[in-house]
Amino acid sequence: MATKWLSPAEMRAWRAYIETTYQLQAALEHGLSPHQLSLGDYEVLMLLSEASEGQVRMCDLSERLNLSPSGLTRRLDGLVKAGYVSRAQCTNDRRVTFAYITPPGLAAFKAAVADHVRSVRTHLIDRLTPAQIEVLGDIFAAVGAGLAETPKRTR
């Protein structure tokens, strides 16, 4: 099958994406640095804080974060060491382990939220028009839906 090369407009969009993504992530990381949290740490705390009873099965958390089980373990190790997250085996099924947010973890998350939202607003949202924000949401919803349909081994 012949490769369908990118048009100039497609190339411009792709290059803008790849050249900006790392800069945006670095800026968002910097916004969390006063809280000694990485963007990955913040995402874990966010997911756990939103979960019922502040806990999520490790396999589900791994999937949500697109991490392997060992990658999730490494991600959680620092949060566990800081006392922000704990792990506990399910009392009904010993094969299941839960990650849950601790009271200090919830406090750390709440302390970081306002600064993180300010950073997101400064570096992304306030640079776009309301119409662009709608389009951006549509774009990533479409990309996410397509990736969800793609078998994981080909990603």
Q: How does pLDDT run across 94-152, given as a tens digit for each residue? A: 788 999 999 999 999 999 999 999 999 999 999 999 999 999 999 999 999 998 887 76
Output the pLDDT for position 155: 46
Residue 29 lies in a domain: no
pLDDT per position as a tens digit, 40-66: 999 999 999 999 888 899 999 999 999
Question: Does residue 54 lie within any of the structural domains?
Answer: yes
Residue 148 and residue 142: Cα distance in Å, rounded?
A: 10
Q: Per the domain annotation, does 73 fall within a domain?
A: yes
Name which of 115, 109, 88, 138 is nearest 43 in CA terms. Answer: 109
The distance in angstroms from the start CA to the end CA of the chain is 19
pTM (two decimals): 0.87
**Can you give the pLDDT at residue 153?**
52
154 has a pLDDT exceeding 70:
no
Number of structural domains (the chain) is 1
| CB burial of residue 142 (10 Å; 0-12, 13-18, 19+) | exposed
Q: Is residue 28 part of a domain?
A: no
Bridge partners of 101? Answer: 85
Domain extent, residue 76, equals: 36-148
Band of the pLDDT at 7, cuts 50, 70, 90? very high
Q: Is 133 a member of any domain?
A: yes
Helix axis angle for 39-50 and 8-32, nearest 10°, is: 80
Nearest to 115 by CA among 47, 39, 40, 34: 34
Higher pLDDT, 92 or 47: 47
Q: Does 3 score more than 70 pLDDT?
A: yes
Q: What does the pLDDT average to over 1-16?
A: 94
What number is the average pLDDT over the span 82-99? Answer: 88
**In-domain check, residue 140:** yes
**Residue 98: CATH number of its domain:** 1.10.10.10
Residue 53 lies in a domain: yes
Q: CB neighbours (10 Å) of residue 97?
A: 16
Residue 75 lies in a domain: yes
